């Protein structure tokens, strides 16, 4: 078991052999200048270049470096999840390995967690060095995330964030949920979420690892997080309410049609020949389906236990 440190720096990476030595040197300089005890947890997400060899070399010169290598590429959420499990620092800092996040921000992030008692502090890259094809969709996505989650952050997807250790031990990441750690923390009961303007640097080595699919996956994941946060433990509250309302509207419509036929317009055409009858019947059927969906979701939620498994090929330190 690792000895507790002031700071755990969790860095997921994929094919970043060129930037790792410079990033480590920068982090080490900042940590030494501020007198922090620390660990750097590098999670190699199945890199195909020499990233793991670089991590081994960094471990040889700095015992504060820890390395975890996945057997294959699982994605950033899996890497962060594993890094959070391994972290032992009082404050956990996440950052990307491509040198676009500045380690010089770490002391202020640490202070905001320890002195100002924030649970989560998210970086805000107010001035970005990205093309408009990336910044414009990001602004739209951040606006939607603010409206749906109620968290007033400007940059949900910034990789530079700080957390209390209890926060990262209380949430579970899967899929592409790394974009939504602040909402996950909020729904877990950690409501003191702050923001800090951070420096964004142009990429120095390599190319971005994210494709156009994130513009589709991002909104879908956002809806999933909001739903799971609000109704994950009580799906019947959503589906049951929708089902009851829909069935009730359909029933009232059918009841009106019956009264109309029996007492008001007896000579009118048969109920089965009226379009309104089928609309009412459809509403009642959909209402029952919603209700049953909520009931089944409750049964599954109360009787299932899920666990993410990521195959680790190698590990050093810790």
> Is residue 80 a contact partner of residue 14, using CB atoms and an 8 Å limit?
no
More confident residue, 178 or 166: 166
What b-and-e string marks burial along 74-90, b requiring 16 or more CB atoms within 10 Å of the CB?
bbbbbbbbbbbebbbbb
Question: What's the whole-model pTM score?
Answer: 0.74
**Topology classification of domain 7-231:** Spore Coat Polysaccharide Biosynthesis Protein SpsA; Chain A (3.90.550)
181-234 confidence digits (pLDDT tens) = 999 999 888 999 999 999 887 667 766 655 556 666 667 777 777 777 777 677
What's the Cα-to-Cα distance from 216 to each of 138, 139, 184, 219, rounded to whole Å? 12, 15, 20, 6
CB atoms within 10 A of CB 289: 15
**Strand pairing partners for 161?**
94, 122
Phi and psi torsions of 154, nearest 5°? -90, -20
pLDDT score, position 210? 58
More confident residue, 12 or 224: 12
pLDDT score, position 221? 73
pLDDT score, position 1? 45
The structure tokens 């100002």 sit at 116
32-44 confidence digits (pLDDT tens) = 999 999 999 999 9
Average pLDDT over every residue of 83-97 = 95
Q: Does the pLDDT value for residue 300 go beyond 90?
A: no
pLDDT score, position 89? 95
Q: Name the residue among 166, 144, 162 with its Cα closest to residue 153.
A: 144
64-84 confidence digits (pLDDT tens) = 999 999 999 999 999 999 999
Dihedral-angle region of residue 206 (phi above 0 means left; psi in -120 to 50 means alpha; beta otherwise): left
Per the prediction, the chain carries an average pLDDT of 86
Q: Does the pLDDT value for residue 310 go beyond 90?
A: no
Average pLDDT over every residue of 250-267 = 80
* Percent of the chain clearing pLDDT 90 (strictly above): 51
Query: CA 126, CA 195: separation in Å to the nearest integer?
Result: 11
pLDDT score, position 41? 97
Helix (H) / strand (E) containing 85: helix 76-86
Query: CA 166, CA 189: separation in Å to the nearest integer?
Result: 11
Phi and psi torsions of 194, nearest 5°? -115, 180
Domain extents in the chain: 7-231, 235-303
């Amino acid at each position: 078991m690792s000895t507790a440190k002031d700071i755990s720096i969790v860095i997921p990476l994929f094919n970043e052999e060129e930037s790792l030595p410079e990033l480590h040197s920068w982090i080490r300089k900042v940590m030494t200048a501020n007198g922090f005890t620390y660990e750097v947890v590098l999670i190699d997400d199945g890199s195909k270049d020499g990233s793991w060899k670089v991590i081994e070399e960094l471990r040889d010169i700095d015992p504060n470096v820890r390395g975890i290598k996945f057997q294959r590429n699982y994605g950033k959420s899996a890497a962060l999840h594993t890094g959070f499990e391994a972290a032992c620092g009082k404050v956990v800092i996440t950052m990307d390995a491509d040198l676009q996040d500045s380690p010089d921000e770490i002391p202020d992030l640490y202070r905001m967690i320890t002195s100002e008692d924030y649970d989560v502090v998210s970086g805000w890259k107010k001035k970005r060095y990205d093309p408009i094809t990336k910044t414009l969709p990001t602004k739209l996505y951040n606006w939607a995330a603010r409206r749906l989650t109620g968290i007033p952050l400007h940059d949900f997807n910034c990789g530079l964030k700080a957390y209390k250790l209890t926060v990262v031990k209380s949430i579970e990441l899967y899929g592409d949920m790394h974009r939504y750690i602040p909402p996950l923390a909020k729904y877990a009961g950690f409501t003191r979420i702050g923001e800090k303007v951070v420096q964004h640097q142009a990429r120095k080595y390599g190319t971005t690892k994210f494709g156009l699919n994130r513009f589709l996956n991002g909104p879908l994941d956002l809806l999933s997080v909001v739903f799971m946060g609000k109704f994950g433990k009580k799906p019947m509250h959503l589906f049951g309410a929708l089902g009851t309302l829909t069935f009730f509207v359909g029933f009232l419509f059918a009841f009106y049609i019956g009264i109309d036929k029996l007492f008001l317009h007896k000579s009118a055409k048969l109920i089965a020949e009226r379009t309104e009858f089928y609309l009412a019947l459809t509403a009642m059927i959909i209402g029952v389906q919603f209700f049953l969906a909520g009931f089944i979701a409750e049964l599954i939620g109360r009787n299932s236990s899920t666990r993410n498994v990521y195959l680790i090929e190698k590990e050093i330190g810790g």
